[in-house]
Amino acid sequence: MLSGNIKSAIGLGLILNQGIGDTIRVSLTGDPVEEIKSAKLILRTLGLRKGGIEVVSCPTCGRTSIDLIGLANAVENMVQDIPLDIKVAVMGCVVNGPGEAKEADIGIAGGKGEGLLIKKVRL
Ligand code: SF4
């Protein structure tokens, strides 16, 4: 539930960001699995939890020609239990997607009938 997530993020985030508390419980109306996902994301966003793949995606625009929301959700579900501390970017086009994904460790950019997988090389 969107409003529950936002209220939890702001309420718990403000407290945790001040160093208050060492446990977190998110209560949402719905699947309890979503509560855990929200809690993990709040902690990771605050830099209080390491590990786990962070999935980011572009906001979409007129160039988007794939089901980016479906793809981003699928990628997020696929990687949720992988304990790597990396960022994966899911982008909606092969024109600007690779450039916009340059801060990520792995980028996925999709277009009509084509797709790119980009791996950042660490020097
Ligand atoms: S990556 Fe492509 S589809 Fe996504 S916002 Fe940028 S230009 Fe638009």
Q: Rounded to an integer, what distance in angstroms lies between the CA atom of residue 115 and that of residue 105? A: 17
Q: Rounded to an integer, what distance in angstroms lies between the CA atom of residue 40 and that of residue 50? A: 10
Cβ burial of 97 (10 Å; 0-12, 13-18, 19+) is buried
User: Which pTM value belongs to this model?
Assistant: 0.77
Q: Rounded to an integer, what distance in angstroms lies between the CA atom of residue 115 and that of residue 99? A: 14
The pLDDT tens digits for 35-88 are: 998 998 899 889 888 878 989 999 999 999 899 999 999 999 999 889 898 999
**Cβ of residue 112 lying under 6 Å from some atom of ligand 1:** no
Residue 58 alpha carbon, nearest atom of ligand 1: 4
